[in-house]
């Protein structure tokens, strides 16, 4: 059963890739989607047995993979409570995205290739979450990076899609370089890459120093920081976040898959899996907390002013990932995974709902050209509303249980950590900002008059999505908006159930009284880590703070866009510098372009033009060939074709020889 869950998506990829065009797009869609549905069903069976039931963790070995000296790596599937949670998240969302894509991509001629890429992506993510060692995890880690590159750049004829795919690939390579170094250090310290061996050896190496980059570091601190560098890239944390919004260039189902259940949560999963190591370094956990809190507040501020419906949700994802890392940083690993679990449902719902809006608007993505859609696409409106309620933490929805728990945990940890105090303030403020931009999206899209929010972009600065952006590279028409087909609406309904009830149904298992029984020791909690108990003892006002911020954000958005339309525009015109700063994402793209991209291109041109062209080619192959050509041209001039020229040259030669002989003979 375990191997079937992992390898059925791979089978779907092979069928779509090798015979997809031969059997046709419809058959490819049905086969790949059907295989994912079976994988999802089996994943829920595993979840009920391992996590909710009394089943024990198992690690079936598929094959011996690498044996080299002291390095022995088996290809094994680690099935425990943490894996079971991730299997449910990955396969459920992926299967629904497959089903949704049948309707969304019905006009695309490259559907077999698209469904093949989706299945490859899912297989790589499943390899990552079932890994029993760091090398196998790195295989899945790089696999989702490759698949995301293929999916983001799926419409490769669009330059913007190609640029976004390359950007995602390159930025992730920066993080993956740190991740690889961290794996090397783990092997140096413990002599193994298998999780059980690492976790057993780690406590005995606490406070051990190691020299890295010419400096002496605490061994586990530098190791965990390097490992977390990989998580920063994959999960789009502050400083390595720039690829995530541009990933919107891929088809909308890709956005849902990347942002909701797979690639971006890989970093969260990795830190949770390696929690026994992170527990040994307070410095590393502090760094995780600060980066997570900064990401949460940064992405929330940028989301306030974005006008592309998918980009608003993308920055929301970035912000919510920051929440997850705050939970991990304060030692609440189970809380972070719980938010990962609930977030998968309502974020996939929001992205697929946005896709339904885009489909209804004939591929229009600018919210300023929308408005009044709640009467024309009522089902999509209610699904987006449910997703927004869950995202903002409306009482008793999924987000209410998981996001509020993170804020409470940060407050509880603040008694011992100033970083946790900062995280509490950042996440609480971000809760209000999240509510504002989420309801702003709903009001601009579904309320008011069509195009009433349209503005002159020149008055507000640069906007990459000022004009209609088309998922398929075409302009939008003036057709009447229409509701999406049933094959797209069914996944929305299923995800809405999760967005409403996933928190209520599982909160006691993930973070409540059944916490230890559910996790069964899967997540490491040090002897001094009492956060799971302390978070339940915070003051009532702390627990209510996120709800008050949620209400405040809703009321401000209601005032700006419903009660007093035009308030937001006037505010932007009154504060143009701040507006441009947020609209241009704190100018990180421009900053990185100036610091890294332009110097890299300049160095490349120098090596190309001066080094390769003038020096290497000039003195080497090109120079030698040029001299040979010159000599050949000179020799050609001597070949006139006239016999008397040759006879005259022979006479001159004979005269020169006789003269040399006579002079030499006299001597």
- Token pair 């504060």 is at which residue? 575
Report the distance separating Cα 152 and Cα 651, nearest Å: 78
Task: List the one residue out of 26, 35, 34 whose CA is nearest residue 5.
Answer: 35
pLDDT digits (tens, 9 = 90+) for 457-480: 333 334 443 333 445 444 444 467
pLDDT digits (tens, 9 = 90+) for 95-150: 999 999 999 888 888 899 999 999 999 999 999 999 999 999 999 999 999 999 99
Report the distance separating Cα 134 and Cα 72, nearest Å: 12
Separate counts of helices (H) and strands (E) for the chain: 29, 4
Task: List the one residue out of 427, 488, 535 whose CA is nearest residue 98.
Answer: 488
Report the distance separating Cα 106 and Cα 8, nearest Å: 23
Q: What is the pLDDT of residue 477?
A: 44
Percent share of the chain, pLDDT over 70? 94
| Interval 389-403 mean pLDDT | 94
pLDDT digits (tens, 9 = 90+) for 529-549: 888 888 988 888 898 999 999
Say if residues 560 and 552 touch (Cβ distance below 8 Å).
no
pLDDT digits (tens, 9 = 90+) for 183-221: 999 999 999 999 999 999 999 988 888 887 778 889 999
Q: What is the pLDDT of residue 300?
A: 95
Indicate whether this model's pTM tops 0.75: yes
Q: What is the pLDDT of residue 555?
A: 96
pLDDT digits (tens, 9 = 90+) for 38-49: 999 999 999 999
């Amino acid at each position: 059963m375990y191997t079937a869950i992992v390898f059925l998506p791979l089978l779907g990829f092979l069928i779509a890739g090798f015979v997809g065009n031969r059997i046709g797009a419809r058959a490819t869609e049905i086969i790949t989607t059907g295989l994912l549905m079976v994988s999802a069903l089996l994943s829920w069976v595993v979840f009920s047995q391992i996590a909710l039931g009394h089943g024990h963790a198992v690690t079936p070995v598929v094959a011996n993979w690498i044996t080299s000296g002291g390095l022995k790596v088996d290809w094994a599937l680690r099935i425990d409570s943490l894996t079971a949670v991730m299997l449910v998240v990955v396969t459920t969302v992926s299967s629904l995205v497959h089903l949704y894509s049948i309707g969304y991509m019905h006009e695309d001629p490259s559907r077999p290739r698209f469904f093949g890429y989706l299945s490859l992506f899912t297989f790589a993510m499943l390899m990552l979450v079932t890994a029993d060692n760091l090398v196998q995890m790195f295989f899945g880690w790089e696999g989702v990076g490759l698949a995301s590159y293929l999916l983001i750049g799926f419409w490769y004829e669009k330059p913007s899609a190609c640029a976004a795919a390359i950007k995602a690939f390159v930025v992730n390579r920066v993080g993956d370089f740190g991740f690889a170094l961290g794996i090397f250090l783990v092997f140096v310290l413990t002599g193994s890459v298998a999780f059980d061996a690492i976790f057993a050896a780690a406590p005995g190496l606490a406070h051990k120093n190691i020299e890295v980059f010419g400096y002496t570091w605490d061994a586990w601190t530098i190791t965990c920081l390097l490992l977390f560098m990989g998580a920063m890239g994959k999960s789009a944390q502050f400083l390595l976040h720039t690829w995530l919004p541009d990933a919107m260039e891929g088809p909308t189902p890709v956005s849902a898959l990347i942002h909701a259940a797979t690639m971006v949560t890989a970093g969260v999963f990795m830190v949770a899996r390696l929690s026994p190591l992170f527990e040994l370094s307070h410095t590393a956990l502090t760094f995780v907390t600060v980066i997570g809190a900064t990401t949460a507040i940064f992405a929330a501020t940028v989301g306030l002013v974005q006008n592309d419906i998918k980009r608003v949700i993308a920055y929301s994802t970035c912000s919510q990932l920051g929440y997850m890392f705050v939970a991990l940083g304060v030692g609440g690993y189970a809380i972070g995974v719980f938010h990962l679990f609930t977030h998968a449902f309502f974020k996939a719902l929001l992205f697929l709902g946005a896709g339904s809006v885009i489909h209804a608007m004939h591929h229009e993505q600018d919210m300023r050209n929308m408005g009044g859609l709640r009467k024309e696409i009522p089902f999509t409106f209610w699904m987006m509303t449910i997703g927004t309620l869950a995202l903002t933490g409306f009482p008793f929805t999924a987000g209410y249980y998981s996001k509020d728990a993170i804020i409470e945990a940060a407050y509880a940890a603040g008694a011992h950590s100033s970083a946790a105090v900062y995280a509490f303030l950042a996440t609480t403020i971000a809760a209000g900002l999240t509510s504002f931009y989420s309801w702003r999206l709903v009001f601009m899209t579904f309320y008011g008059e069509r195009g009433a929010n349209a503005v002159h972009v020149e008055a507000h600065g640069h906007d990459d999505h000022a004009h209609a952006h088309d998922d398929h590279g075409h302009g939008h028409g003036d057709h009447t908006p229409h509701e999406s087909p049933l094959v797209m609406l069914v996944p929305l309904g299923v995800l809405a159930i999760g967005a409403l009830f996933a928190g209520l149904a599982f909160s006691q298992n993930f973070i409540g009284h059944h916490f230890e029984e559910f996790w069964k020791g899967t997540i490491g909690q040090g002897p001094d880590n009492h956060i799971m108990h302390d978070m339940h003892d915070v003051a009532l006002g702390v627990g209510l703070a996120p709800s008050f911020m949620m209400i405040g954000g809703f009321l401000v958005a209601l005032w700006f866009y419903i009660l007093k339309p035009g308030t937001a525009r006037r505010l932007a015109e009154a504060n143009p510098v701040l507006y441009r700063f947020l609209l241009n994402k704190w100018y990180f793209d421009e900053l990185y372009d100036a610091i890294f991209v332009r110097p890299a291109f300049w160095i490349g041109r120098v090596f190309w033009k001066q080094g390769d062209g003038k020096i290497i080619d000039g003195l080497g192959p090109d120079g030698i060939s040029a001299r040979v050509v010159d000599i050949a041209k000179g020799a050609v001039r001597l070949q006139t074709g006239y016999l008397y020229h040759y006879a005259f040259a022979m006479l001159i030669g004979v005269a020169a020889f006789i003269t040399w002989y006579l002079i030499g003979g006299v001597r």
